[in-house]
Amino acid sequence: MLELKDINVYYGAIHAIKGISLNINEGEIVTLIGSNGAGKTTTLRTISGLERTKTGSITFEGKDITSASASNIVSLGISHVPEGRDVFPKMSVKENLELGAYLRKDKAEIKKDFEKIYGLFPRLLERKEQMAGTLSGGEQQMLAMGRALMSRPKLLILDEPSMGLAPLIVKDIFNIIVEINHSGTTVLLVEQNANLALNIANRAYIIANGEIELEGDAKELLGNEKVKNAYLGG
């Protein structure tokens, strides 16, 4: 479904991504794991058209999207939930969700998707008229995910969905990620909690210093000594 070949991204003189290649098959949950500053978020932003690669190519469902605009990439079926959630604080929950469907014209189907999102996240239904800035961190994460799903993505990109959340809320969020995947959406997940991510993923890539250090079946990597020592607390 998605293929990155030899991606190199720079921030001025800083070489942030160094020749990364990876692929995601339809229906998978794939996770990128690495320490802070390893290049995970930059990789996601490059897929979404928010950063540009100097070399290589990015293809999605056989189409070259290397130079596509961020809005064009959304219209092709990729939605990105950024680190830190980035909800619109002075707009209501409902208005935030409506913005997720800004490229769509199918009003009847949009209405169905509202019901679907409220089914996945009942708390958003309870708070639909509430300003997004007054929600708890967990509710804002649910809203950011719901907003991304309103564009009906084929590929959902999640950057650190558990960041700053209480363990019980994190468990809920991860159960919902699995549910979203089972309903037909492919997921690319960046997550500091490597143990949680590897437990729900099909495959994983380990990134260090802007390069892929290791890749493989997620369950096998859970048992890998190097991964255990570096990311799973030994």
Span 127-151, pLDDT tens digits: 999 999 999 999 999 999 999 999 9
Q: Where are the domains of the chain?
A: 2-231
The answer to whether the pTM exceeds 0.85 is yes
For 60-102, the pLDDT digits (tens) are 999 999 999 999 999 999 999 988 878 999 999 999 999 998 8
Indicate the class that CATH gives domain 2-231.
Answer: alpha beta
State the average pLDDT over residues 151-159: 95
Provide DSSP, 16-31. Answer: EEEEEEEEE-TT-EEE
- Show contacts of 130-135: CB within 8 Å, 24+ apart: 130/92, 130/93, 131/89, 131/90, 131/91, 131/92, 132/87, 132/88, 132/89, 132/90, 132/91, 132/92, 132/93, 132/96, 133/87, 133/89, 133/90, 135/87, 135/93
Return the SS3 of 218: helix
Q: What are phi and psi of 230, to 5 degrees?
A: -85, -35
